[in-house]
Amino acid sequence: MKLPRYPKYKDSGVKWLGQVPEHWEVIRLKYVASMKGRLGWQGLRSDEYTEEGPFLVTSEHFTNDRVDWNRCFHVSEDRYAIAPEIQLRPDDVLMMKDGAAMGKLAYVDHLPGPACLNSHLLLFRPLDGRFENRFLYYVLGGPDFNGYMIRERTGTTFFGISQERIASFPFAIPPRSEQERILRFIDVETSRIDALIIQQQRLISLLKEKRQTSISHAVTKGLNPKAVMKPSGVKWLGEVPAHWEVYRLTSLYREIIEAGNGELPILSVSIHSGVSDRQLDDEEMDRKVNRSEDAGKYKKVLPGDLVYNMMRAWQGGFGTVTVPGQISPAYVVARPKREISSRFVELLLRTPQAIEEIRCHSYGVTDFRLRLYWDKFKIIRVALPPKEEQEKILARIEKMNQKFDELTEASNSSIATLQERRASLISAAVTGQIDVRNYPPAEAPAVCQ
């Protein structure tokens, strides 16, 4: 889609703003919008939250630039009434003004009931009828304001920006009628792009399901569709190829508890990717982990060991060790007693039907308290092909994974391109870099949910 530029531009008088359409007005934010925030002394503590009552919004409740009302806190009517100027209305624009989330935005597209802000948030409203607040929402979400925030912020580890500096932000604003046309253009074009993004996201979900189904079938039924089958005698496995053998895990593995040492790398175990092949930096970890300075508290592991997290086994928290190292004492280390592939067993224990079996063998009153102890793990029964066949199945799975990875990466790349296109169109429209006044008034297509 090729859109024209405006016939005439003028110098905005602001170096980084550059040229703007000749009839647009360059103005500072404080002259067109009010800013309100809860004063520090009015901020609400967690012990003041209630089970019901008016909603209390924090930046933690921003999801996809909207307020996720289902996650919001509640406050009493008395605390809600203390600051009427920050009681929310539809079309309000909310922004985090400090901390790691500084500049994070949300647009109030609807109100399920009375709601107000907690501290660290600002509320923007237009001062007069010449201004669409949703237009401001897009301006504040663009690169010009983001760059301004970075230049004007203060602090070294905890960043912030004063309301005075935000109020001094200069931008170009078109007439109200033109704002409405720009917003219509944004609605139609972003709906089209969002529909394409949803298609790619669905494809990724289907690829994930197909990958899991393919792996589960390979490690429970083998690769030969014509293989003679037999009852395994194990409910969660059902039928297996006739030449596969059924074992209790205690006949395949023994538990190993061997202290680590300072010379070995500390390996990480993820429920998504298994055991790392090196010591990961904090930035590479799935979650924050506090590592002990005492290496003797870790457990030594060797290549071929199968390890699992007692508290996350029911989520598929298994991994196969590929390099000598040490792991957290929270993990159980199982060392093979015979020639088998722990990688094959790992994939088998990650299947949905195996996870349900593991859940049945775990102790705990709720999911997040379930623990799989060794005495229960070792009695679980599995069916395995001969070692050579295990390796062939793993090789086929590796090829399948490569293909799924390529397709998933292609979809992720398409999503990133579409998101960049979306942001670029919005920015160009609200800064006057494209002229959408004669944009066809087509209706936005429906986006399937």
Model pLDDT for residues 161-182, shown as the tens digit of each residue: 888 999 999 999 999 999 999 9
In this prediction, residue 364 carries a pLDDT of 80
Structural domain span for residue 110:
25-173
If asked whether residues 378 and 230 sit together in one domain, one would say: yes
- Report the pLDDT value the prediction gives residue 40, as an integer from 0 to 100: 63
In terms of domains, do 361 and 418 share one? Answer: no
Mean pLDDT in order along the chain per 10 residues (449 residues): 90 93 95 84 79 90 91 90 89 89 91 90 88 92 92 84 91 94 95 96 97 96 95 95 96 94 86 81 54 70 93 88 91 94 96 92 78 94 96 97 97 97 95 91 46
Q: What integer pLDDT is reported at residue 119 of this predicted model? A: 83
Distance CA 157, CA 161 (A): 13
Q: If DSSP codes are grouped into helix, strand and coil, which group holds residue 73?
A: strand
CB-CB neighbours of 344 under 10 Å:
22
Same domain assignment for residues 368 and 235: yes
Give the model's pLDDT for residue 446: 44
Backbone angles phi, psi at 154, to 5 degrees: -125, 165
Cα 104–Cα 106–Cα 110 angle in degrees, nearest 5? 170
> Over the stretch 366-394, which tens digit does the pLDDT of each residue have?
666 789 999 999 999 999 999 999 999 99
State whether 44 and 148 are in the same domain.
yes
Domain shared by 65 and 112, yes or no? yes
Tell me if 10 is assigned to some domain.
no
Q: Which runs of E-coded beta strand occur in 139-198?
A: 170-173
376 part of a folded domain: yes
> How high is the pLDDT of residue 449?
40
Residue 316: its pLDDT value, please?
A: 86
Do 370 and 431 fall into the same domain? no
For 123, the enclosing helix (H) or strand (E) is strand 121-126
Is 339 contained in some domain? yes
Q: Are 273 and 289 in contact (CB under 8 A)?
A: no
The pTM for the full model equals 0.81
| DSSP per residue, 423-443 | HHHHHHHHTTSS--TT---PP
Whether residues 356 and 328 fall in one domain: yes
Cα–Cα distance for residue pair 430/174, rounded to 1 Å? 9
Are 331 and 440 found together in one domain? no
pLDDT at residue number 293: 54
Structural domain includes residue 15? no
Is there a contact between 152 and 165 (Cβ–Cβ < 8 Å)?
A: yes
- What is the rounded CA–CA span in Å between residue 347 and residue 396? 13
Domain count, the chain: 3
Do 114 and 36 belong to one domain?
yes
Do 29 and 82 lie in one domain? The reply is yes
| pLDDT score at 288 | 47
Q: Position 325: which residue type? A: G
Q: Output the pLDDT for position 372.
A: 92
- Residue 9 is predicted with a pLDDT of 97
Residue ending a domain, among 364, 384, 404, is 384
* pLDDT at residue 301, as a whole number: 94
Helix locations, 280-350, DSSP H: 342-349
